[in-house]
């Protein structure tokens, strides 16, 4: 799923109006109607007090359309106008007149001198105050209103984006943002829904199709993409009937040190479980017995040194290499990597101490295979590579520049892991807090390595590998829960993650056309139209 910028959304709105020969007011009607149908389907006329807070721009206009439909369908609704400016959008004014025609209880005007309205915990708040066009600081009295929303404990539904949240920059004051329980976003989700600093402002989100021009949706190139099952399924490479292990590649895992051979074991098992035909582990001598006794499918080559890697000498040509897990950062290990990088041409997946060595010796970055190297840092490792950042947007910009400069793929691990290549972001949708445990990063290294070995290109292997890693964890927690999930469980459920790719969804999605028909066919709507 594409993640459109706010500028692209504006372009899509304008193009849709032109191509479909409809006004911006008609498009607003679609949006507000879609929100109403979403609520009506779930509430079925329940008389829960609904407080619709509308700004004086287009987001507020959407709220007025919603409020009008709620009123004509007999809901217990109270509408407010948050009067934060003297400027009103044309479509807001049109829909303000429309709502005045269906009720004697006109919207209540709120300004800086108004008392805060009474809201009970059992009520519902609809936030239609500020949309994606926010371009100035939120006034103090509006902040007080947002704080009042939060303190009321009422369930809050935001339209398009929680008010006060920017689409392209960080938040300086959390009191200037609505904390939504649910956000109904038009056309696509917003990138801020997936960043650590801003994801907290909406617990859940859903995209509403408001009928934007199909050619715009299909042809517009975005800087960010949300990765789910439908995005990774076309990447899947099926196996031919007469395939043998030699066709599925030979993965090499380089790493380990005294006391950290488990990392190599996990990465090797993951590479085999994801489908690599052959696996060889290169470790210090201390890794030989643990690997051979605990993982009989792996082949082992050992360094001359007992406790650390001091040289890397191979007697075969690997298809893909995962490097750095449990490796330590001894001086001899660093020198061994430098010599190895000078000769290696195979795709690389670099994690853990491999990253720490690169961060300490950045001159080694120029030795990495261009376009075929994947770096998989957690937050601290990423800071060592790209430096400190001010906020999540600054972090993404730094990683983009780093990726372009060195022609490497960077996986920013965490909730909603983001894969970065040049200027493009791929935001993963799988995974859960159970992955916050030792060894899961080693498993990811093995997964990506094993996919490359089978013939996936570096970028697809990374995107697909991150998805399968998270999906396996999502399936595993049904058995183990978050707290008891360990890295080995993720490997155990990789097969289930593959099988899940081909399962049909339990329920079909409701289209926007169906939603519009629901409103038009309701008795109340027919009476109002008459």
Domains and CATH numbers, the chain: 2-222 (3.40.50.10260), 248-498 (3.40.1190.20)
Q: Supply the pLDDT for residue 104.
A: 86
Q: Supply the pLDDT for residue 360.
A: 96
Burial of 524 (C-beta count, 10 Å sphere; 0-12/13-18/19+): middle
Q: Supply the pLDDT for residue 521.
A: 39
Q: Supply the pLDDT for residue 135.
A: 85
Burial of 117 (C-beta count, 10 Å sphere; 0-12/13-18/19+): middle
State how far the Cα of 172 lies from the Cα of 196, in Å rounded to an integer.
Answer: 14
Q: Determine if the pTM surpasses 0.85.
A: yes
Instruction: Please name which of 15, 447, 87 lies closest in space to residue 267, comparing C-alpha atoms.
Output: 447
Q: Supply the pLDDT for residue 528.
A: 37
State how far the Cα of 444 lies from the Cα of 131, in Å rounded to an integer.
Answer: 38
Q: Supply the pLDDT for residue 449.
A: 98
The pLDDT tens digits of the residues spanning 252-267 come to 999 999 999 999 999 9
Instruction: Please name which of 17, 4, 22, 30 lies closest in space to residue 520, comparing C-alpha atoms.
Output: 30
Positions of the chain with pLDDT lower than 70, given as ranges: 506-530
The pLDDT tens digits of the residues spanning 101-147 come to 898 888 999 999 999 999 999 999 999 999 998 888 999 999 999 99
Q: Supply the pLDDT for residue 526.
A: 38
Locate 113 and state its tokens. Answer: 């001198």
Q: Supply the pLDDT for residue 507.
A: 53
For 443, residues 6+ apart whose C-beta sits below 8 A from its C-beta are: 266, 267, 269, 270, 469, 487, 490, 491
Question: What residues form DSSP beta bridges with 224?
Answer: 3, 425
Q: Supply the pLDDT for residue 136.
A: 87
Q: Supply the pLDDT for residue 506.
A: 61
Q: Supply the pLDDT for residue 87.
A: 87
State how far the Cα of 381 lies from the Cα of 372, in Å rounded to an integer.
Answer: 20
């Amino acid at each position: 799923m594409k993640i459109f910028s706010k500028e692209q959304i504006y372009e899509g709105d304008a193009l849709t109006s032109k191509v479909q020969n409809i006004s911006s007011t008609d498009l607003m009607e679609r949006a507000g109607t879609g929100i109403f149908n979403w609520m009506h389907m779930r509430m079925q006329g329940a008389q829960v007090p609904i407080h619709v807070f509308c700004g004086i721009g287009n987001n507020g206009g959407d709220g007025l359309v919603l409020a009008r439909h709620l009123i004509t369908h007999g809901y217990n609704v109270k509408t407010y106008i948050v009067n934060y400016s003297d400027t009103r959008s044309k479509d807001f004014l049109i829909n303000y007149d429309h709502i005045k025609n269906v009720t004697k209880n006109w919207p209540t005007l709120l300004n800086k001198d108004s008392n805060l309205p009474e809201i009970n915990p059992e009520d519902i708040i609809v936030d239609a105050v500020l949309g994606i066009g926010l371009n100035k600081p939120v006034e103090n009295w509006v902040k007080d209103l947002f704080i009042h929303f939060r303190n009321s404990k009422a369930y809050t539904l935001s339209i398009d984006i929680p008010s006060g949240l920017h689409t392209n920059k960080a938040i300086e004051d959390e009191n200037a943002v609505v904390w939504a329980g649910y956000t109904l976003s038009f056309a696509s989700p917003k990138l801020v829904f997936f960043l650590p600093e801003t994801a907290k402002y909406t617990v859940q989100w859903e995209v509403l199709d408001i009928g934007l021009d199909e050619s715009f949706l299909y042809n517009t190139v975005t800087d960010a993409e949300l990765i789910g099952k439908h995005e990774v399924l076309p990447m899947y490479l099926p196996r031919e009937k007469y395939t043998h292990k030699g066709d599925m590649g030979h993965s090499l895992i380089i790493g380990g040190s005294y006391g950290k051979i488990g990392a190599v074991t996990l990465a090797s098992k993951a590479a085999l479980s994801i489908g690599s035909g052959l696996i060889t582990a290169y470790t210090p001598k201390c890794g030989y017995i643990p690997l051979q006794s605990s993982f009989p499918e792996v082949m082992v080559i050992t360094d001359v040194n007992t406790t650390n890697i001091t040289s890397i000498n191979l007697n075969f040509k690997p298809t893909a290499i995962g490097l750095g897990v449990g490796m330590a950062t001894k001086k001899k290990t660093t020198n061994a990597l430098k010599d190895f990088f000078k000769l290696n041409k195979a795709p690389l997946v670099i994690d853990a101490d491999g990253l720490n060595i690169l961060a300490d010796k950045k001159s080694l970055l120029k030795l990495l295979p261009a376009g075929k190297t994947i770096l998989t840092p957690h937050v601290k490792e990423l800071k060592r590579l790209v430096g400190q950042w001010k906020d999540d947007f600054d972090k993404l910009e730094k990683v983009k520049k780093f990726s372009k400069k060195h022609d490497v793929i960077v996986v920013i691990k965490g909730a909603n892991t983001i894969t970065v290549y040049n200027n493009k972001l791929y935001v993963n949708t799988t995974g859960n807090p159970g992955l916050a445990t030792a060894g899961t990063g080693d498993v990811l290294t093995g997964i990506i390595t094993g996919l490359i070995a089978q013939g996936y290109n570096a970028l697809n292997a990374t995107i697909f590998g991150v998805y399968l890693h998270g999906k396996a964890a999502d399936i595993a927690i049904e058995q183990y829960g978050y707290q008891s999930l360990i890295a080995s469980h993720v490997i155990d459920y990789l097969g289930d993650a593959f099988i899940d790719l081909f399962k049909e969804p339990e329920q079909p999605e409701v289209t926007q056309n169906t939603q519009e028909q629901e409103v038009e066919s309701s008795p109340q709507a027919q009476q109002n139209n008459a």
